[in-house]
Structure 1
Amino acid sequence: MSKLIYTFLASLDGYIADESGDFGWAYPGEEVLDFLNVSERDVGTYLYGRTMYELMAGWETDPDYAAASPGNAEFARIWQGADKVVFSHTLETVSTKRTRIERSFDPELVRAIKASAGHDLGISGADVAASAWRADVIDECQVYVAPMLVGGGKRMFPEGIRQPLELLDERRFGNGMVFLRYAVKR
């Protein structure tokens, strides 16, 4: 069965965006992008909430995203080649190919996608991931920790989740970012 992997770039104090919504401090740089792209090649489907989908759609709709660097161009190709499922009550239409809308987060749907998928699934977006954590459908967590304390904002992990993890991999990068990969222990 495919794995559902929660991946995010976060500050050392666990935020994916600061109090003003900025996350530019987490730009990974080419070394990290090259590493990230290798693991993202195994993802065949991305699960998003509306906000994260609208942010990520630029990888297909805005050529400037890919033009920024070779690593960005590679990520754009990977992202465009994957299926996307957006969990949203309010989104009416999608602007990208290979994308469908589901009106609510359904753990049974996620389990069915995992069971039938030929590749792993990625999940991004703090709110949809919180639903997935609470439904116990996340199998792995990959965190790219930026060398930054932001002091508040949008947390990577939901409050009230207590989950044992097993460290599978770790790596340091020249820009001070650290990659941590954990399996969810059941």
Structure 2
Amino acid sequence: MGKLLYSMIISLDGYVADANGNFDWAQPTEDALTVTNDEMSNVGTFLYGRRMYEMMAVWETDPEVAAQSPESARFAETWCATDKIVYSRQLESTHTARTELVREFDPAEVTALKDTREHDLTVDGSTLAAEAFRHDLIDQIMVLVCPVTVGFGLAFWPKQRLNLELRQMRSFRGGVVYLSYDLLRH
């Protein structure tokens, strides 16, 4: 049985992008990427909304992105070898391998995926994750916190109470901190 993980890079004040949609500050160090890659080693499916999918597709479509560093290359290899489900009413088709386009997010289908998969799943993107949180589907949260505040933008955290138990915390050069939490059920 797989777990559903919510994983993103965020600002210290809890945003994945600033008010203009910029996230150029989200540049983790190589050692932080190593931890992220290690955490992704048991992931068999990425769940994306349209915007996150379009952003992440570069790991397959732009070789220069993977060539940035050894850990970038490692992530690109993992990304290309992993199944992806994109939830979108707007996309006509996807342009990457191992990618399925689904029109509606169905909590029952995601529950069935969790129950039938050997590997974990991730939900990436705060809008899609908020939907998964509403249906109590998320099991773990993993964040790389960058030492910057952006004041306002696209929030990482859903607008609901979450009770969390810290699993792991690591700090890296440049002030990036990795946090991993289990979501506690009421």
- TM-score class, shorter: over 0.9
Show the counterpart of 1:69.
Answer: 69
What TM-score, normalized by structure 2, do the two folds share?
Answer: 0.97
TM-score, normalization by structure 1: 0.97
Task: List structure 1 runs of 4+ shifted beyond 6 angstroms.
Answer: none
Q: Which residue of 1 is the match for residue 165 of structure 2?
A: 166
Other-structure match for 2:27: 27
CA distance in 1, matches of 2:106, 2:126: 16
1:106-117 equivalences in 2 (<5 Å): 106-117=106-117
Amino acid at match of 2:154: K
Gaps of 5+ in 2: none
- Distance of 2:48 and 2:34 partners within structure 1: 23
Q: Deviations over 1:8-50 (max 9, x none)?
A: 1100100000111111101112111111111111111000000
- Other-structure match for 1:18: 18
Match of 1:181 in 2: 180
Task: Give the superposition deviation at 1:158.
Answer: 2.3
Structure 2 SS opposite 1:171: strand
Equivalence for 1:101: 101
Report the alpha carbon displacement of residue 164 of structure 1 after superposing the two structures with TM: 0.8
SS in 1 for 2:36: helix
- Which deviates more, 31-40 or 43-52? 31-40
Q: Match of 1:24, SS?
A: coil
Q: Sequence identity of aligned pairs in percent?
A: 48
Residue 56 of structure 1 corresponds to 56
**Cα distance in 1, alignment partners of residues 31 and 65 from structure 2:** 17
Find the counterpart in structure 1 of residue 2 from structure 2.
2
Equivalent runs, 1:116-131 vs 2, <5 Å: 116-131=116-131
